[in-house]
Amino acid sequence: MLSEMRIISATPAQPLGDHVYWIAYYDSFDANDTGFRMMSEGTVDLLIPLEGQTEITASASKKGLVAVAEPALVGPQQSYRIYDTSRCTRALGIVFASGGAARFLGPQIDALTDSIVPATDILGPDIRALHQRLLEESDPQRLFRIVEAYLRGHFDPDPQHANEIDFAVSAIRRGQTAGISLVDFAEDTIGFSHKHFVELFKRSVGLTPRRYQQLIRFNRMLEGSRLSPGVSWTEIAAAFGYADPSHLAKDFHRFAGMAPGEYQRSVWTHRQVLSDPTSARAEPTVRG
């Protein structure tokens, strides 16, 4: 159960806000918290434990369970991951938008795909200094300001081909590529050969355009099923472009690790709780 957990989330000011979904502060975890299952949306997450450690199981990773007591980067995942928070009291997380992490980490995001790595491996000693400053603070607003200053210091405003990749990510997220060939989209809309487009997309997002498209459709379907609990899976499958319910069930097992009915009965998702984040300059919103 997570009934006592407090989550305070914020979106940094522009231009960071276009590339960082949110910064979130978590506290009031306790030993009875069972953690949560997080569906992949192609994001890169920077997890910074402040008290205790979090255990992460990434279903697509060969490493299995990873215990995180120091800042860690959770790369783009091709399937779900499970966070066990029973030994973590407080933590802070940064969720980079799809493709957004490349503006802070460089265009080599595909090296992080399906991986969980110490943040120092990519960000160097600066992340240790940030961690130490955060450990000395307890006020969420000050934590957010420290993190935003850190991000501004590591932000590349104009990496090569970033505009094309941002446009492609936006088009996929908005469903504008549904029903059309990604080869045609690359050549006619983006202006790249399909091969070059896939290579650039993987370097910036960490996933192929096709896999990213599949994940976005799956998450849109999850949101649709949550908002329409009385609608049958057959109707939901048709509404979101699945050939039939069996194809939908296949995606459930691949991306959520469970059957549709099991998901509907038991899953609490991180994405649903952290929707509509507040501005970092406003008073924090408490959810719990």
Average of per-residue pLDDT across 26-44: 78
Q: Are strands 20-27 and 6-11 parallel, antiparallel or unpaired?
A: antiparallel
Contacts for 131 with CB less than 8 Å, ≥ 6 apart: 48, 70, 71
- pLDDT band of residue 83 (cuts 50, 70, 90) is confident
* 269 has pLDDT over 60: no
Report residue 261's pLDDT band, with 50, 70 and 90 as the boundaries. Answer: confident
Query: In the prediction, which pLDDT does 45 show?
Result: 96
Residue ranges of domains in the chain: 6-157+278-287
Which of these ranges, 55-59, 138-142, 262-266, 268-272, has the smallest mean pLDDT?
268-272
Write down the pLDDT at residue 6.
77
Q: Is 85 helix (H, G, I), strand (E, B) or coil?
A: coil
SS3 state at 73: strand
Q: What confidence tier does 36 reach under pLDDT thresholds 50, 70, 90? A: confident
DSSP the chain: --TT-EEEEEEPPTTGGGTEEEEEEEE---TT---EEE---S-EEEEEEEEE-EEEEETT-TT-EEEESS-EEE---SS-EEEE-TTEEEEEEEEEPTTTTHHHH-S-GGGGTT-EEETHHHHTTHHHHHHHHHHT---HHHHHHHHHHHHHHT--SS-TTHHHHHHHHHHHHTTTTTTS-HHHIIIIII-S-HHHHHHHHHHHHSS-HHHHHHHHHHHHHHHHHHH-TTS-HHHHHHHTT-SSHHHHHHHHHHHTSS-HHHHHHH--BHHHHT-SPEETTSPPEEE-
Q: Is the pLDDT of residue 73 over 80?
A: yes
pLDDT at 19 over 90: yes
pLDDT tens sequence across 184-226 = 999 999 999 999 999 999 999 999 999 999 999 999 999 888 8
CATH superfamily of 6-157+278-287: Jelly Rolls (2.60.120.10)
**Section 235-250 average pLDDT:** 94
For residue 278, the cross-strand partners are 10
pLDDT band of 68, cuts 50, 70, 90: very high
> How would residue 287 be classed by pLDDT, with cut points 50, 70 and 90?
very low
192 strand-pairing partners: none
Residues 6+ apart with CB under 8 A from 103: 19, 155, 156, 157, 159, 162
Q: What share of the chain is helix, strand, coil (3-state, %, to 5)?
A: 40, 20, 40
Helix (H) or strand (E) holding 218: helix 209-227
Residue 3 has pLDDT above 60, yes or no: no
Computed over its alpha carbons, how large is the radius of gyration of the chain? 19
Q: What is the DSSP letter of 46?
A: E
Confidence of residue 174 (pLDDT cuts 50, 70, 90): very high
CB of 212 closer than 8 Å to CB of 42: yes
Predicted pLDDT of residue 266 = 67
- What pTM, to 2 d.p., does this model score? 0.86
